[in-house]
A and B are shown apart, each in its own frame.
Chain A
Amino acid sequence: MNKLLTAALAASLTATAAYAESVKIGFVTTLTTPAAVIGKDMENAVNLAVEHLGGKAGPLDIEVIFGDDQFAPEAGKQATDKLVKQDNVDFVAGYIWSHVLLASRKSVVDADKILISANAGPSQMAGKLCDKNYFSTSWQNDQTPMAMGEVLNKAGVKSLYLMAPNYAAGKDMTAGVERTFTGEIVGKDLTKWGADAQLDFSAELAKAKASGADGLFVFYPGAAAGAFVKQYQQAGLKDTLPLYSVFTIDGISLPKLQQAGFTDALGSKITQEWDPSLDNAANQKFVGDFKEKFGTYPSFYAAQSYDAIMLIASAVAAVDGNLEDRDALRAAVKAADFESVRGNFKFGTNNMPVQNFYLREVVEDADGNWTTKVVDTVYTDHVDSFAAECSMN
């Protein structure tokens, strides 16, 4: 029996050696806990991207290994370490959560692997902690709420109440809207976050209403979004305290909100760098095929994950599959020569995208599904506020 086992092991080892003609991509996201709903969307988008590429990046086969961060920084770092050390991947992509990315960052860039965030955009990593091995296909956290701040100024909102989860991104988000909003911030609540996140916001909503603010700005990604919007509607705040959100009402929460009949979501305004209605060939193909395959509109998480795989594939193709020359590979990633679902895509000095931010509105599509459409462009080719702090200038 032991001999058989050894033989099998030896056979499998030689088998992997024979398959070395592939590019290995580690993809870290949340596959358990309620936040797995985001992870699933990202996983679907990654698989769709690989399918669209025919499983090939230049001359190499694409091999994706998924890692689960369990919605916790320590588990995320462990999953990353496994991908870097044990699986010896060439790229590590993914990351929904800023605190997970911050915890995992060092493991990847110190091993001289290329790290690509498909969502999280902590301010530190755009500025002081920027790195030649770190790229993003999303945004810096502050940018989307900054765009919302501009929208609020235009709409004549004079005072604002802020609510966000108490972690790295929650703090960046409130800082972002405070950076551009010219009115008064009358109150701010940071609520407990993580696997034991607070999901009942009755106390905070009562405070927000009592504050007499003109509007309520929130950031509640993932499963918390549905809970928040429901309680907002149950509290009957739509007329007295209009809701302005970022990363809360999205492709993930909308189908559930529609199913449960929470009509307050319709007409709400959100800012984002991407939208399913963006009119370019890559996006039409992505959204169409995603809908056909998985039955729902892709979320922005999916769009950014799709772009991450396309970016990697373009870079691997540009160096003709030679992953050993890291400088050439990094230069090829930085060139970003791929068809992005958001139209033009280019990196700034700190390897963060320089891109447009749109104002979107929640609407019902022709088939009766709730989705979003672009109503305005808030920023054109926006550079994040931390680029100047990055030493790669």
Chain B
Amino acid sequence: MDTSLLFIQTLNGLQLGLLLFLVASGLTLVFGILDFVNLAHASLYMLGAFICASLTYAVGNFFLAVLIALPITALLGWGAERFVARPLYARDHLDHVLATFGLILVLDTAAHLIWGPEGIAVPLPEAFRGQIELSETLVIPTYRLVIIAAGLAAAGGLYWMVVHTRLGMLIRAGASNRVMVGALGINIELLFGLVFALGAALAGLAGMLIAPITEASIGMGNQVIITAFVVIIVGGIGSMKGAFIAALLIGLIDTLGRSFLDDIFKLVMSPDAAENSAPAISAMLIYIIMACVLALRPQGLFPPKVR
């Protein structure tokens, strides 16, 4: 196996992992801290992609479109908290699942009505369409590096906010004991609304970043939400650090599995059998990892300290 291919595939895995982290971090904030199961979380990923795609054509620049679309998705997230989640906090998880599953159907249909069934391709600025040549055999699409940089920046910003700011402190405190924080005169409802909006903006950002690669399409969120749940289960529900490490882990395992599993299988079985079984096994790989983690550490790899 040549090393430059391994290097490129590691970068590809890193890129996938960072996108997963953007989706999973919002999911774990809402699930771990607000104790609300939001299946529709990834619908914001889809809406982010669509809004950004439309804006790209309207303003003529992808990055400007991202900047405008971010507050819009945050606002949509806030609305989802206010009108769907808030009335249901006191109910059990099954009610959350039912309501947010309904929300997925509503948002998918709304997207169908607004943008049509065909999806939207998003053009990139000329500068990001090319490739960066690191060496003769190491060529990486520029835009993949942009995604990695944006993902790392968002992760860093989130870490700084949760650990070093007053808002982050309140989020952590609200998660531990919402009654006590409320008694101190903090508006818990506003705080939870902000958490939801933040999660929506992060998921939306992931959707916007992926749109120039896969295009904005209806139901694109449904593909990513299951993997995002795998990430937060592996990482430990409610843990940002866990979500970050697990997202990178899952991204790498998925990408490397797709790239090298058939070669590995060919060492122990006939090429035909390897060719047929490798795609099936690589699609299952992340679930196998999740099952192993659940068996050995049911609370996840990095559960939050205070629950």
Give the B-binding residues of A (Cβ under 8 A): 31-34, 36-37, 39-40, 166, 188-192, 195-200, 202-204, 206-207, 209-210, 223, 226-227, 230-231, 233-236, 252, 256-257, 259-262
Contact A34 B141 (CB under 8 A): no
20 pairs from A and B in contact (CB 8 Å cutoff): A34-B118, A191-B279, A195-B223, A196-B222, A197-B223, A199-B223, A202-B141, A202-B255, A203-B258, A206-B9, A207-B9, A226-B119, A226-B215, A230-B213, A231-B213, A234-B141, A234-B143, A234-B144, A235-B139, A236-B130
Query: Which residues of chain A come closer than 8 Å to B219, judged between CB atoms?
Result: 32-34, 195
CA distance A234 to B125 in the complex (A): 12
Give the A-binding residues of B (Cβ under 8 A): 2, 4-5, 8-9, 12-13, 15-16, 112, 117-124, 129-131, 137, 139, 141-144, 210, 212-215, 217-220, 222-223, 226, 255-256, 258-259, 275, 279-280, 283
Given A206-B12, A230-B213, 10 extra CB contacts under 8 A: A166-B279, A189-B258, A192-B279, A200-B214, A202-B141, A203-B255, A204-B259, A223-B215, A231-B141, A233-B129
CA distance A190 to B210 in the complex (A): 22
CA distance A262 to B123 in the complex (A): 8
Query: Shortest Cβ distance from A233 into chain B, in angstroms?
Result: 7
Q: Which of A37, A189, A192, A261 contacts B118 (CB 8 A)?
A: A37
CA distance A266 to B48 in the complex (A): 30
Contact B279 A236 (CB under 8 A): no
Q: Which residue of B lies closest to A199 (CB)?
A: B214
Query: Shortest Cβ distance from A5 into chain B, in angstroms?
Result: 29
Query: Which residues of chain A come closer than 8 Å to B259, judged between CB atoms?
Result: 203-204, 206-207
CA distance A256 to B5 in the complex (A): 31
Q: Which residue of A lies closest to B57 (CB)?
A: A259
Number of A-B contacts (CB under 8 A): 126
Contact B129 A33 (CB under 8 A): no
CA distance A111 to B139 in the complex (A): 57
CA distance A40 to B112 in the complex (A): 12
A200 and B16 in contact (CB under 8 A), knowing A40-B118, A206-B259, A234-B143?
yes
CA distance A230 to B129 in the complex (A): 10
CA distance A166 to B218 in the complex (A): 21
Query: Shortest Cβ distance from B231 into chain A, in angstroms?
Result: 15
Q: Which of B9, B137, B217, B280 contacts A223 (CB 8 A)?
A: B217
Contact B210 A200 (CB under 8 A): yes
Query: Shortest Cβ distance from A215 into chain B, in angstroms?
Result: 18
CA distance A191 to B12 in the complex (A): 16
Query: Shortest Cβ distance from A263 into chain B, in angstroms?
Result: 10
Residue with the highest number of chain B CB atoms closer than 10 Å, among A33, A37, A203, A223: A203
Query: Shortest Cβ distance from A287 into chain B, in angstroms?
Result: 20
CA distance A260 to B16 in the complex (A): 23
Contact B123 A261 (CB under 8 A): yes
Query: Which residues of chain A come closer than 8 Å to B15, judged between CB atoms?
Result: 202
Query: Which residues of chain B come closer than 8 Å to A209, judged between CB atoms?
Result: 139
Query: Which residues of chain B come closer than 8 Å to A227, judged between CB atoms?
Result: 213-215
Query: Shortest Cβ distance from B17 into chain A, in angstroms?
Result: 12
Contact B258 A260 (CB under 8 A): no
Contact B9 A203 (CB under 8 A): yes
Q: Which residue of A lies closest to B276 (CB)?
A: A190
Contact B217 A34 (CB under 8 A): yes
Q: Which residue of A lies closest to B225 (CB)?
A: A196
A260 and B279 in contact (CB under 8 A), knowing A195-B219, A206-B5, A206-B9?
no
Q: Which residue of A lies closest to B132 (CB)?
A: A236
Contact B121 A230 (CB under 8 A): yes
CA distance A259 to B120 in the complex (A): 9
Q: Which residue of A lies closest to B257 (CB)?
A: A203
Contact B117 A37 (CB under 8 A): yes
Q: Which residue of A lies closest to B255 (CB)?
A: A203
Q: Which residue of A lies closest to B126 (CB)?
A: A261
Query: Shortest Cβ distance from B241 into chain A, in angstroms?
Result: 26
Query: Which residues of chain B come closer than 8 Å to A166, judged between CB atoms?
Result: 279-280, 283
CA distance A112 to B256 in the complex (A): 49
CA distance A206 to B16 in the complex (A): 15
